[in-house]
Amino acid sequence: MTSSTISRIRNFSIIAHIDHGKSTLADRLLELTGTVSARDMTAQVLDTMDLERERGITIKAQAVRMPYRAQDGHDYELNLIDTPGHVDFAYEVSRALAACEGALLVVDASQGIEAQTLANVYKALELGLEIVPVVNKIDLPQAEPEAVAREIEEVIGIPREQCLMVSARTGAGVDQVLEAIVSALPPPQGEAIAPLRALIFDCKYDAYRGVVVYTRVVDGAIRSGTQIRMMAGQGVFTVDEVGFFRPGMEAVEELGAGEVGYVIASIRNVRDSKVGDTITDAQRPAVSPLPGYRQASPMVWAGLFPIDSDSYQDLKEALERLQLNDAALAFEPETSAALGFGFRCGFLGLLHMEIVQERLEREFNLELITTAPSVAYRVQMRDGTTLEIDNPDQLPDPEHVEWIEEPRVKVELVAPREYLGGLMELCQERRGEFVHLEYQPGDRALLTYDLPLGEIIHDFYDQLKSRSRGYASMDYQLAGYRREQLVKLDILVAGGKIDALSAIVHRQQASNQGRRLVQRLKEVIPRQLFEVALQAAIGGKVIARETVPALRKDVLAKCYGGDITRKRKLLEKQREGKQRMKRVGSVEIPQEAFMAVLSLDR
Amino acid sequence: MTAEVVVGAPRSLYLHVPFCSRRCPYCDFAIHVGEDQLQERYTKAVLAELSRIATGELELDTVYLGGGTPSRLHPRLLGQLLDAIRAHFAVQPGAEVTVEANPEDVTAELARAWLQAGVNRLSLGVQSLDDRALAWLGRGHDAAQAESAVQVARLAGFENLSCDLIYAVPGQDVGTLERGVRRLMAHGPTHVSCYELTVEQGTPLQRQVRSGRRPAPQVEAFLEQRQMLGEVLGEAGLEMYEVSNYARPGRRSRHNLAYWNGLAYLALGPGAHGFLGAAESAALGLASEGAALRYWHLRDTATYIRDVESGASGWRGHEWLGESDLQMERLACGLRLSHGVRLGSTGQLNRALELAEMGLLVVEGRTARATPRGFEVLDRVTLELVSASTPSGRGQP
């Protein structure tokens, strides 16, 4: 399609709730345009990782090019960009959307518009995308397409007659969708002869070819041999190959303004190809980069420790492997008195952490203990030095500390107005400060708060969803540090401090948090042969105490000829279970205890 | 390093008699109700199996007929079986020959027949001397029948008499239990086995407890009643020598001690488990794949009979035990005994010393034995020692 001029390109994404038929529609589009033959169609071509399929979320973006001859007789180049779908990856989503001019909004004709979908629509509208509403599953007996079209008009403000009525399953109406992409979505704007500016919206690591950069060319063109410079990352590379996805990689001579595709340039590390960065021509650089670049840096830190200490080296290698394809994952060695040798790892958020942990366990067969996540604090020492700590246990003795600063974030919440009250209440509970409220077209409001990062990493997002019936969307950015009354909460088990259970908390919340934490630990630590005292302490002063009572009875009445084999097998099994626990002092502590702080109810 | 476990030649034989008049709701043994017409064929099958496994002149110190309810086996058949055992093995003078019996089956005539057949120890399923507890347990006798059975057996000449008791039965308080036990001890049994009621997997009782139709046994009752039993039995001159077993001096169950001491034993009949060293296993025609063999029979009586009749072994399965398996079993069983067990590794000894500090074990030299408190949580204590015997490596970055 090198002949295609910029006016024949359409770049779009699909916004849909899980199960509303995004993948089926995408598959139909691929089939109908002849991009993938029906025979080669495996269900849901676009989601490639097992984990993605299971969780129904897309972690990595995908891009596929479809050739299409429209009813006007012209040949078009349609680029579908599939986006990840969770707040941890909100920035990645925004960059993928920024690479498009429009989006298909797919809504199930029997379910109506769902909250999460609306949140993504808000995001797309903010970025100026044109929305084409598609009411799907009209073949279902319980379908109410007219009612759903009316709902779309009321909530988003798109006239109901613009809704396309389709069944991706039967294929009915899918041809109209292709026509609407051509007629209703605008072509890209861009200067073909201006210096190169291309937006990186994702990348992946390929063992044979190095980093494959997913990009949208905005101005100029990129071809093999071009010497490119990353405008934020500053790296300079020579392009080996450019091309597009069909959905396999197909090389082309060049990617011109408006086009979406990939660039391979002997880039060894995904860190040299940052999402949101602008690629320019090193010889003829653009004056300014594309707007919106943000450094993707870890927001939360947690310790990962192998249960079997012999697996330390395996864990290290596994983390290195994952890091090849995950620019946001950071790690460094950590030693804990309680848990032995492991790694302090940095993540974008809790979902990112869970995904990494799950992949380590599943793909690399590791058994891990993860400690409760923390944010990074700045400590001003009495001697004038400044420390940055991402592990509560590293906090020096209070006598050496002048003050502690905690990271704050600017959080933007978009939600229907009726939920504003509940959301403001949530932000206040989390030590938030009101910044701004703005009413937007339709029913929406944009609420801006300044919050401590530590207050939003645990369950803030879940709370946000439950207090807005799922309708609120959220985005956040680091917004500096602020001095606060912070203290280290230590947990003592049977009189001994467990470093991996320490947490940094606000002084006002410390006693409450300490009490709930020891209560929770009492639930997860099994009875031992002796009574186990659980204490929460601040600076040596105990503020809460619970006791795990000693085991009172554990003996089988009978052990005769036929019982002995059973007894031995039980012992073997129990011994394995014991080995999965961590023995700290004389107390055995199960894995989940180290994450107990996460399961506290507020 | 630890000494190798010596299993030795079998000097004990267990014969399982599966017939019962009823299924007690708490029982998970291999038994059959209302299949007494199988008794003749069962006896023939056991005799066939007996002649197959009797290779050479093995000496036996103990023979144990357990059940099920061996007292339901026709005395003529029981006599045939014991005669055959004596014909195939050198049953030693003074050997312990036990038969289990239900109180409602015991008559003076039957007791004499058993004695005549060579039985010299009777194990009576008394379970309780409280009618309410007996009804709760679904037993086929009442307290009066139980007492009379003990008297009848003693009068007939059973000097060596054991009684089974079940305690921690929901609804029964410690006082009622104590009165019953004191009444029983007045009849002079030489051995008592006390089992707390246990809700076993797959039993009617388990279904009833799970659905809330019956209360589960309580830990408090177990602790309180166990202590009382130790005291009352002690007053009567019976000493605890295993977690659940109490005996007058010289009246410990020699047969059961073979299990707990890790010695070899032969087994016959449906569901029965046997345990043999490598040499005796070889004599049965099994190529050795380990230090010892444990085998078990088909549980269903009719299936067992057909299998043996067809010339097959009647076994359902077997496993070979390695040295470390034997060590673990020896430890687990040995700790159940009042005189304790010799510890293997230094790691075990160190852990035992920690447990001793908690008042759960007494360690003397390399021998560890449980304290009264240790017996209450013995399975956990065992797990501690078993876990200490595996080296846990500390990796380095």
Average pLDDT over residues B361-388: 96
Q: Looking at beta carbons, which residues of chain B come within 8 Å of A571?
A: 328, 332, 382-383, 386
Number of domains, chain B: 2
Q: Would you call B378 and A554 a contact, using CB atoms and an 8 Å cutoff?
A: yes
State the complex-level ipTM: 0.93
Asked whether the predicted pLDDT for residue B170 surpasses 70, the reply is yes
User: Does B376 map to a domain?
Assistant: yes
The whole-number average pLDDT for the span B12-28 is 93
Question: Which pLDDT belongs to residue A47?
Answer: 46
Tell me if B289 is assigned to some domain: no
Q: What is the pLDDT of residues A373-397, one digit of tens each?
A: 999 999 999 999 999 999 999 999 8
Answer whether residue B56 shows pLDDT above 70.
no
Determine contact: A566 vs chain B, CB below 8 A: no
Query: Would you call A341 an interface residue with chain B, using a CB distance cutoff of 8 Å?
Result: yes
Tokens of A456: 């939003």
Question: Is the N-terminal amide bond of B68 cis, ω within 30° of 0?
Answer: yes
H/E element, A447 = strand A444-452
Q: CB A554 to CB B377 under 8 A?
A: yes
pLDDT band, residue A293 (cuts 50/70/90): confident
Question: Can you give the pLDDT at residue B10?
Answer: 95
Mean pLDDT of A84-102: 80
Cβ of A309 within 8 Å of Cβ of B393? The answer is yes
Inform me whether the pLDDT recorded for B190 exceeds 70: yes
For helices B323-334 and B378-388, the axis angle rounded to 10 degrees is 150
Tell me how close the Cα of A591 comes to any Cα of chain B, in angstroms. 18
Q: Name the band, by pLDDT with cuts 50, 70 and 90, for residue A111.
A: confident
Q: Is the pLDDT of residue A43 over 80?
A: no
The alpha carbon of residue B327 is apart from the nearest alpha carbon of chain A, in Å, by 10
Question: What range does the domain containing B26 cover?
Answer: 12-259
Please say whether the beta carbons of B15 and B47 come within 8 A.
no
pLDDT of A3: 41
Could you say which of A311, A316, A568 has the minimum Cβ distance to residue B328?
A: A568
pLDDT at B2: 52
Domain contains B313: no
DSSP B221-274: HHHHHHHHHHHHHHHTT-EEEETTEEE-TT-S-HHHHHHHTT--BEEESTT-EE
In a domain, B67, yes or no: yes
Helices (H), chain B: 39-53, 75-88, 108-116, 131-137, 143-156, 174-185, 204-210, 219-235, 254-260, 278-283, 301-309, 323-334, 346-357, 372-376, 378-388
| Domain assignment of residue B397, yes or no | no
Contact B232, B222 (CB under 8 A): no
Burial of B16 (0-12, 13-18, 19+ CB in 10 A): buried
Q: What is the pLDDT of residue A540?
A: 85
Residue B363 contacts residue B370 (beta carbons within 8 Å) = no
pLDDT digits (tens, 9 = 90+) for B245-282: 999 999 999 999 999 999 999 999 999 999 999 888 88
| Candidates A557, A561, A567; nearest CB to B265 | A561
Q: Which of B213, B228, B259 is a domain's end point?
A: B259
Question: Residue B221: what pLDDT?
Answer: 97
Pairing of strands A532-538, A486-493: antiparallel
Whether residue B161 contacts residue B100, with contact meaning beta carbons closer than 8 Å, is answered with no
B377 chain-A contacts, CB cut-off 8 A: 529, 551-555
Chain B contact for A364 (CB, 8 A cutoff): no
pLDDT reading at A366 higher than 60: yes
* Whole-angstrom distance, CA of residue B356 vs CA of residue A584: 19
Quickly state the pLDDT bin for A296 (edges 50, 70, 90): confident
Token reading at A52: 């993605």
Chain A residues inside the 8 Å CB shell of B260: 559
* Residue A407 backbone phi and psi in degrees, to 5: -75, 145
Mean pLDDT in residue range A67-90 = 84
Of A306, A309, A557, the CB nearest to B198: A557
Q: Is the pLDDT of residue A600 over 80?
A: no
Residues B228 and B350 reside in one and the same domain = no
Who's near A418: CB < 8 A, 6+ residues apart? Answer: none
The span from the CA of B280 to the CA of B286, in Å, is: 9
Give the number of other Cβ atoms within 10 Å of residue A268's Cβ. Answer: 12
- Do B152 and B39 share a structural domain? yes
3-class state of residue B301 by DSSP: helix
> What is the share, in percent, of chain A residues with pLDDT greater than 70?
93
Chain A environment of B267 (Cβ under 8 Å): 561
Residues B207 and B346 occupy one common structural domain: no
Q: Phi and psi (nearest 5°) for A390?
A: -115, 10
Same domain, B382 and B251: no
For chains A and B, count residue pairs whose Cβ atoms are closer than 8 Å: 115
Question: How confident is the model at residue B377, as a pLDDT?
Answer: 97
Q: Which of A308, A529, A571 sits opposite B377 (nearest CB)?
A: A529
pLDDT tens profile A223-242: 999 999 999 989 999 999 99
> Of the given ranges (A86-90, A198-202, A553-557, B59-63), which has the lowest mean pLDDT?
A86-90
Nearest-CA distance from A515 to chain B in Å? 29
Tokens representing B28 are 């998970």
Residues in A touching B196 (Cβ below 8 Å): 557
Region for residue A515 given its phi and psi (left: phi exceeds 0; alpha: psi -120 to 50; beta: otherwise): alpha
pLDDT of residue A375: 94
Q: What whole-number distance in Å separates Cα of residue B238 and Cα of residue B250?
A: 10
Cα(A15)–Cα(A108) distance, integer angstroms: 12
In the prediction, which pLDDT does B284 show?
Answer: 81
> Which has the closest alpha carbon to A81: A38, A124, A46?
A46
Q: Are B218 and B87 within one domain?
A: yes
Distance CA A502, CA A600 (A): 15
Chain B residues in contact with A574 by the CB 8 A cut-off are: 383
Mean residue pLDDT of chain B comes to 93
CA distance A55 to A50: 9
For residue range A312-324, list pLDDT tens digits in order. Answer: 999 999 999 888 7
- A554: chain B residues, CB-CB within 8 Å: 376-380
Whether A529 has its CB under 8 Å from any CB of chain B: the answer is yes
Beta carbons of A567 and B219 less than 8 Å apart? no
- What is the per-residue pLDDT for B218? 96
Dihedral (CA of B193, B194, B198, B203) sign = positive
Average the pLDDT over B80-108 and give the result.
96
Of all residues in chain A, the one with the smallest CA distance to B377 is A554
- Closest of A171, A170, A168, A108 to residue A144, by C-alpha: A108
Does the structure show a pLDDT above 60 at A202? yes
DSSP string, A361-407: HHHS---EEEPPPB--EEEEETTS-EEEESSGGGPPPGGGEEEEEEE
Residues B252 and B360 in one domain: no
Nearest chain A CA: its distance from B153 CA (Å): 25
Choosing among B333, B335, B390, which should be mutated to test the A contact, i.e. which has the most A CBs within 10 A?
Answer: B333
Residues of chain B neighbouring A316 (CB-CB closer than 8 A): 397
**In the predicted model, is pLDDT for residue A531 greater than 70?**
yes
Q: Reply yes or no on whether the pLDDT at B332 is more than 80.
A: yes
- Same domain? For B244 and B116 the reply is yes
Tell which of B259, B280, B298 closes a domain.
B259
What is the percent of chain B where pLDDT is above 70? 96
Q: Does A555 touch chain B (CB under 8 A)?
A: yes
Contact A561 B275 (CB under 8 A): yes
- What does the pLDDT average to over A158-167? 93
Higher pLDDT: A439 or B355? It is B355
Statement to judge: residues B225 and B373 lie in one domain: no
Q: Are residues B242 and B354 in the same domain?
A: no
Closest-CA distance, A76 to chain B, in angstroms, reads 56
Is residue B3 situated within a structural domain? no
Spatial CB neighbours of A267, under 8 Å, sequence gap ≥ 6? A210, A211, A213, A235, A237, A273
Contact between residue B18 and residue B301 where contact means Cβ atoms under 8 Å apart: yes
- Could you give the C-alpha distances from B19 to A464, B34, B69, in angstroms and in order? 66, 8, 6
* Domain match, B217 and B352 both: no
What is the pLDDT at residue B392? 42
**Separation in Å, CA A162 to CA A12, A177, A180, B172:** 17, 11, 10, 78
Helix (H, G, I), strand (E, B) or coil at B100: strand
Query: Is A7 in CB contact (< 8 Å) with chain B?
Result: no
Cβ atoms of B17 and B269 closer than 8 Å: yes
Task: Report d(CA A177, CA A187) in Å as an integer.
Answer: 16
Q: Answer whether residue B1 shows pLDDT above 50.
A: no
Q: Does A481 touch chain B (CB under 8 A)?
A: no
Cβ distance B259 to A559 less than 8 Å, yes or no, reads yes
Interface test with B, best of A311, A567, A568 (most B CBs within 10 A): A568
Residue type, B155: L
From A58-62, A150-154, A446-450, B235-239, the region with the lowest mean pLDDT: A58-62
Contacts of A566 in chain B (CB under 8 A): none
Q: Does the pLDDT at position A137 exceed 80?
A: yes
| Cβ atoms of B166 and B199 closer than 8 Å | no
Contact A556 B377 (CB under 8 A): no
DSSP state of A167: B
Q: Considering the domain boundaries, does residue B36 fall inside one?
A: yes
Nearest alpha carbon to residue B5 among B332, B388, B291, B295? B291
Burial of A209 (0-12, 13-18, 19+ CB in 10 A): middle
Residues 402-431 in A contacting B (C-alpha not used; CB under 8 Å): none
Sign, CA dihedral A537-A541-A544-A546, equals positive
pLDDT value of position A323? 84
CATH number of the structural domain spanning residue B168: 3.20.20.70
pLDDT at A39: 54
User: What is the pLDDT averaged over residues A83-99?
Assistant: 77
* B194, B224, B259 - which closes a domain: B259
A305 interaction partners in chain B (CB closer than 8 Å): none
One domain, residues B367 and B219: no
Asked if the structure places residue B1 within a domain, the reply is no
Residues of A in contact with B370 (CB under 8 A): none
**Which residues 6+ apart lie within 8 Å of B325 measured at CB?**
A568, B290
Mean pLDDT of A101-121: 85
Per-residue pLDDT of B291-324, as tens digits, reads: 899 999 999 999 999 999 999 999 999 999 999 9
Is A551 in the B-facing interface, judged by CB distances under 8 Å? Answer: yes
Q: Tell me if A316 and B376 make a contact (CB, 8 A cut-off).
A: no
- Secondary structure (3-state) at A529: coil
Q: How many CA atoms lie within 13 A of A189 on its CB side?
A: 6
Whether B48 and B168 share a structural domain: yes
CB contact under 8 A, B358 and A529: yes
Q: Are A301 and A346 in contact (CB under 8 A)?
A: yes
User: Which residue in B8, B156, B13 sits closest to B84, CA to CA?
Assistant: B13
pLDDT at A59 over 50: no
In this predicted structure, the answer to whether residue B90 has a pLDDT above a threshold of 90 is yes
Q: How far is B219 from chain A (nearest CA, A)?
A: 7
